[in-house]
């Protein structure tokens, strides 16, 4: 068995087992807490514009979802944004984009400082996205699947007037698609890339491309996954698709097809990319430098490929 990129998340059979989310409080309009207060007894923080800071990496697909939703819903003034350096070392995500080398609002150099301020015993991997309370400096949540759902459902008072409705009233089909796409595609590419046995890799690879084939067929007669309306699941699929040819195809050995070789998926991804909340939040430089320069087990020489040409997305 070859060495694992993240030892604690590698199962004995070589499968990649993503760690759980440590901080799972929620910001809710039903919170019993008032402005400036901490969470209520059920772990619900009050909705309060200007109070919270969303910490993201532009390289990370899980974080990219929250950036897209924040922009689509017009929440830029309600929730501030902190962007970490795409290069993560043994100390974790760094706030280097400000000349002072620390986040100007939170006052720290590393996201790990906030994790351990919130839980001094925390010894897991520090992840993005997370939402931090600027009053206390504590991490409210790093529960990335729930963050975007709550931006849609709990912050409605602060949405722009023409904000899309990303969560349909009947969620059954949405939730089923979210589960399938997470298992086989969103997390599936990581299960390919971080597998440490041939058997684990091939199982993940087969599941990934079987699901992409299903999605390719599904998009033959519709603009979006649920028909003619953009929803949360489109955002979740897009952030994997936009990284597919640049990273996952080669770096994670997901190489049966490129995205550009799926006619319907490629056309769908380009339609989404043309929307400002999608295309304007994609940073291929951050994406490529993060994956190729921080996964030393997979890419020990740290060579960052020149291609593919990002102009293909707008050609």
Which secondary structure element, helix H or strand E, spans residue 144, and what is its range?
A: helix 144-153
Judge whether 232 and 166 are in contact, CB under 8 Å: yes
130 is catalytic: no
pLDDT band (50, 70, 90) for residue 2: low
pLDDT of residue 47 exceeding 90, the answer is yes
- Say how far apart CA 18 and CA 204 lie, in whole Å: 14
pLDDT of residue 3 exceeding 70, the answer is no
Identify the residue with better confidence: 216 or 91. 216
pLDDT of residue 234 exceeding 60, the answer is yes
**Does 71 fall in a domain?**
yes
**Does 297 fall in a domain?**
no
Residue of 60, 130, 192, 254 with catalytic role: 60
pLDDT for position 1: 54
pTM of the model: 0.96
Rg (CA), the chain: 19
**Does 292 fall in a domain?**
no
pLDDT digits (tens, 9 = 90+) for 269-300: 999 999 999 999 999 999 999 999 999 999 99
Task: Name the least confident of 49-58, 88-97, 276-285, 288-297.
Answer: 88-97
> What angle (nearest 5°) sits at the alpha carbon of residue 266, between those of residues 263 and 269?
150
Expressed in angstroms, the distance from the first to the final Cα of the chain is 43
Counted domains in the chain: 1
The CATH number of residue 130's host domain is 3.40.30.10
pLDDT for position 97: 87
pLDDT for position 11: 76
Find the domain containing 63 and state its range. Answer: 17-158
**Does 238 fall in a domain?**
no
**Does 227 fall in a domain?**
no
**Does 50 fall in a domain?**
yes
**Does 136 fall in a domain?**
yes
- Say how far apart CA 184 and CA 179 lie, in whole Å: 9
**Does 171 fall in a domain?**
no
Give 174's contacts (C-beta < 8 A, 6+ positions apart). 167, 168, 226, 231, 232, 233
308 by Cβ neighbours in 10 Å (0-12 / 13-18 / 19+) ranks as: middle
- Say how far apart CA 3 and CA 84 lie, in whole Å: 27
Helix residue ranges per DSSP H, 222-280: 232-243, 249-251, 263-273, 276-279
Using a pLDDT cut of 70, give the percent of the chain over it.
97
**Residues paired with residue 306 on neighbouring β-strands, in sequence order:** none
18 DSSP assignment: P
Using a pLDDT cut of 90, give the percent of the chain over it.
91
Residue of 52, 115, 144, 190 with catalytic role: 190
pLDDT digits (tens, 9 = 90+) for 154-175: 999 999 999 999 999 999 999 9
CA distances from 161 to 75, 165, 251 (A): 11, 11, 41
pLDDT band (50, 70, 90) for residue 202: very high
pLDDT for position 7: 60
Quickly count: other Cβ atoms within 10 Å of residue 257's Cβ.
16
């Amino acid at each position: 068995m070859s060495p694992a990129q993240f030892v604690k998340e590698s199962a004995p059979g070589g499968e990649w087992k993503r760690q759980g989310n440590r901080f799972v409080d929620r910001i809710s309009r039903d919170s019993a807490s008032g402005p400036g207060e901490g969470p209520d007894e059920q772990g619900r923080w009050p909705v309060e514009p200007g109070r919270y800071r969303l910490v993201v990496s532009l390289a990370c697909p899980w974080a990219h979802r929250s950036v897209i939703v924040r922009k689509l819903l017009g929440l830029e003034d309600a929730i501030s944004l902190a962007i970490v350096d795409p290069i993560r070392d043994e100390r974790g995500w760094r706030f280097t984009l400000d000349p002072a080398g620390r986040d100007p609002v939170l006052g720290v150099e590393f996201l790990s400082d906030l994790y351990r301020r919130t839980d001094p015993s925390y010894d897991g991997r520090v992840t993005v996205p997370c939402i931090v309370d600027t009053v206390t400096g504590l991490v409210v949540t790093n529960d990335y699947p729930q963050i975007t759902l709550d931006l849609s459902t709990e912050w409605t008072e602060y949405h722009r007037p023409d904000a899309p409705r990303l969560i349909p009233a009947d969620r059954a089909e949405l939730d089923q698609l979210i589960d399938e796409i997470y298992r086989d595609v969103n997390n599936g590419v990581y299960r390919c890339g971080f597998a440490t046995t041939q058997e684990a890799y091939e199982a993940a690879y087969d599941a990934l491309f079987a699901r992409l084939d299903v999605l390719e067929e599904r998009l033959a007669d519709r603009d979006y996954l649920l028909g003619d309306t953009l929803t949360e699941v489109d955002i979740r699929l897009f952030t994997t698709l936009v990284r597919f040819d640049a990273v996952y195809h080669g770096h994670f050995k997901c190489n049966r097809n490129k995205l550009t070789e799926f006619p319907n998926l490629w056309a769908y991804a380009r339609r989404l990319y043309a929307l400002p909340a999608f295309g304007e939040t994609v940073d291929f430089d951050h994406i490529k430098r993060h994956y190729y320069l921080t996964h030393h087990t997979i890419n020990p020489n740290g060579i960052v490929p020149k291609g593919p040409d990002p102009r293909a997305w707008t050609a």
